[in-house]
Structure 1
Amino acid sequence: MDFVSIRVITGDITRLVTFYERATGVRANWSTEDFAELRVGSATLAIGSTRTVPMFAPGAAHPADNRSVILEFRVADVDGVHRNLVDSGLVEDFVQQPTTMPWGNRSLLLRDPDGHLVNFFTPLTEAAIARLAH
Structure 2
Amino acid sequence: MAARVTSVFLYVKDVRRSLEFYNEVVGAEVLQVHAEHEGAPYTLAILRLGYFTLMIHPQEPHADEFVDARLGVGIHLQMQVDDVDRFYQHCMDEGAILALSGEPTDQPWGWREFALRDPDGFVWSVYQDKTGGQWTV
> Which of the five TM-score ranges fits, normalised by the shorter chain?
0.7 to 0.9
Aligned residue runs from structure 1 range 65-76, under 5 A? 65-76=71-82
Contact 2:11 2:71 in 1 (8 A): no
Counterpart code for 1:103? W
Pick from 21, 24, 27 the counterpart of residue 22 of structure 1: 24
Q: C-alpha offsets along residues 99-118 of structure 1, whole Å, 9 cap, x if unaligned? A: 01110011011211111111
| TM-score of the two chains, using structure 1 as the length reference | 0.81
Counterpart code for 1:28? V
Residue 37 of structure 2 corresponds to which residue in structure 1? none
| SS at structure 1 position matched to 2:104 | strand
Runs of 5+ consecutive residues of structure 1 not aligned to the other structure? none
Q: Is residue 2:118 matched to residue 1:112?
A: yes
CA distance in 1, matches of 2:118, 2:13: 13
Contact 1:75 1:120 in 2 (8 A): yes
**Alpha carbons of 1:113 and 1:64: their partners in 2 closer, same or farther (altered >3 Å)?**
farther
Contact 1:69 1:117 in 2 (8 A): yes
Q: C-alpha offsets along residues 33-86 of structure 1, whole Å, 9 cap, x if unaligned? A: 221122122221111112553xxxx72246852322111111111111111111
CA distance in 1, matches of 2:4, 2:125: 22
Pick from 95, 100, 122 the counterpart of residue 100 of structure 2: 95
| TM-score of the two chains, using structure 2 as the length reference | 0.79
**Alpha carbons of 1:35 and 1:64: their partners in 2 closer, same or farther (altered >3 Å)?**
farther
Runs of 5+ consecutive residues of structure 2 not aligned to the other structure? 35-41
Residue 92 of structure 2 corresponds to which residue in structure 1? 86
Residue 57 of structure 2 corresponds to which residue in structure 1? 48
Counterpart code for 1:36? A
| SS at structure 1 position matched to 2:96 | coil
